[in-house]
Amino acid sequence: MRSKLQKIGLVSAGVLLGAALTLNYSAVADREATQALPLDELRTFAEVYGKIKSDYVEPVDDKTLINSAINGMLSGLDPHSAYMNADEFKDLQVGTQGEFGGLGIEVGMEDGFVKVVSPIDDTPAFKAGLKPGDLIIKLDDSPVKGMTINDAVKRMRGKPGTPIVLTILRKGVAKPFTVTLIRAVIKVKSVKYKLAEPGYGYIRITQFQERTGEDLAQALETLQKDNKGAPLKGLVLDLRNDPGGLLNSAVGVAAAFVKPNSLVVYTDGRTPDSKMKLNASPEYYLRGNQADYLKGLPAWTKTVPMVVLVNGGSASASEIVSGALQDDKRAIIMGTQSFGKGSVQTVLPLGNGTGIKLTTARYFTPAGRSIQNKGITPDIVVEEGKVTGADSDPNLNIREVDLDRHLNNPLSTTNKPAAPPAVIITPEKPANPVKPEKLEPGEIVSKNDFQFNQALSLLKGLNIIQTREK
């Protein structure tokens, strides 16, 4: 089964193709076409091709026309399928290893502009204050209108240390404004952790990369050491603003907390290779001859009370993990509705250094829920505590269902409406808007993070209840 995973290269994609690609790649065997070619449409294509070659205002070479046709054919399918030239395909490979050049933002397209989905922690975009929902309307002096997403991403990439000026349109701000960013080699630390209080651990996963499962295992072991060798009483797993990443890494993270061989996720598509059930066992989360990084985990990781934090920036692999832990009743999901990306991309090399990223399946939680366009509904809704200007505008929260050409939810007509959460907690709004608190050096979560504090309080309450019952 592991070889099958490597062969088809199933990927739980990051939110969108952007300045921070978070996908995996793998060789995929060519498949013969099973349908007759549409001759009438191909004649039309040839006619248009000929007209461009003969009548366009400037000469256009064949390679440019063919590449443009391929790009348009894929980008017209859904927001996540795309054609990658040789440079983009190379960047894709580097991105899965947690290091790449650029600005550190997940982006999409809306109305011809680049839309910020999520800035990545500790990157130039994050430090400059870019926000989800921001529209980038100019790159240096070049208007974005008319560019493809690949063109825009290529312009945002560049030699580390070089500047780029972004012109931003932000809801709630009267006029566009400019931000100058310095390109950097983006090194994303996938797993961050700390002992929040004696007995209570905090782990944040920023992206699902090749080493995420191993880094998680190390974090759990270190937390026990920091807790004077004693098992933890509670654990907060923070998946907020985690755009996704590698499917096998998501399975490995879930496998750290559920019983062995429990179903984590299954996929369904048109081809036999796209129909898979992935369980919490090494063959589904290890790659190649990799040693089982979960084998030596302490027993308490399977039973420790857990709260998983999610929000509108939690997508794909984040939703796989939170959905699996929710269906297994292994953790309480807290926060706000997740992004709703329930599709799987396969990356197919084309043999000339280029490749395509093609949506080949939808994924489903162990209980058979499709997250596509819906997302994960938290067990306890806790609104974010930031209240400042545009941050308080719910219209800034973009999700999969808001993207052009998004896939539908196959169960939307048969699914029963999701049960409303039992509890909704909203922070009190201060009399005057406040700015988000900046983290102190070495800190990974703010002491005034309302959602985190609610999660920690819940875990303490659960321990009090359990103690009384005993």
111-135 pLDDT, tens per residue? 788 988 778 777 899 889 998 889 9
Question: 271-281: per-residue pLDDT in tens?
Answer: 998 999 999 99
Picking from 406, 404, 324, the residue whose alpha carbon sits closest to that of residue 359 is 406
Whether the predicted model's global pTM rises above the 0.75 cut: no
CA 440 to each of CA 104, 192, 196: distance values in angstroms, whole numbers, following the listed order: 21, 15, 15
pLDDT confidence band for 322 (50 / 70 / 90):
very high
What local confidence, expressed as pLDDT, does residue 466 receive? Answer: 58
pLDDT tens digits, one per residue of 334-383: 999 999 998 888 888 988 888 998 999 999 999 999 998 889 999 999 98
**What pLDDT does residue 393 have?**
41
Please pick, among 115, 341, 357, 386, the residue that the annotation labels catalytic: 341
**What is the residue-averaged pLDDT of the chain?**
81
Beta pairing, strands 276-279 & 263-269: antiparallel
Closest by Cα among 348, 308, 195, 321 to 253: 321
Tokens of 10: 């199933």
Structure tokens at 230: 């004693």
Strand stretches in 365-466, DSSP E? 380-382, 423-425
Asked if residues 182 and 169 have their Cβ atoms less than 8 Å apart, the reply is no
Query: And the tokens for 307?
Result: 């709260």
Which secondary structure element, helix H or strand E, spans residue 94, and what is its range?
helix 86-95
C-alpha pair distances (Å), 50 with each of 71, 73, 224, 234, 241: 19, 18, 68, 67, 47
234-238 and 306-310 as β-strands: parallel, antiparallel, unpaired?
parallel
3-state secondary structure of 239: coil
The full DSSP string for 158-198 is -STT-EEEEEEE-TT-SS-EEEEEE-EEEE---EEEEEEET
Choose between 61 and 390: higher pLDDT. 61
φ, ψ for residue 205, nearest 5 deg: -110, 120
Query: At 55, is the secondary structure helix, strand, or coil?
Result: helix
> What mean pLDDT do residues 31-35 have?
48
Beta bridge partners of 236: 202, 307
* pLDDT confidence of residue 326: 97
Between 459 and 445, where is the model more confident?
459
The pLDDT assigned to 78 comes to: 86
Cβ(337)–Cβ(421) below 8 Å: no
Q: Catalytic one among 91, 134, 327, 328?
A: 327
pLDDT in tens, 35-51: 678 888 999 999 999 99
Two structure tokens written together for 363: 């994924």
Any idea how long the chain is?
470
pLDDT average, residue stretch 103-107: 85
Confidence category of residue 79, pLDDT binned at 50, 70, 90: confident
Tokens linked to 332 = 């309480």
DSSP 430: P
Query: What's the first-to-final CA gap in the chain, in angstroms?
Result: 44
Catalytic residue selected from 316, 318, 343, 370: 316
Instruction: Tokens for 442, please give them.
Output: 């070495």
Catalytic site residue 327?
yes
Q: Are 152 and 75 in contact (CB under 8 A)?
A: no
Query: Cβ distance 108 to 373 under 8 Å?
Result: no
What pLDDT score was predicted for residue 21? 30
pLDDT at 22: 29
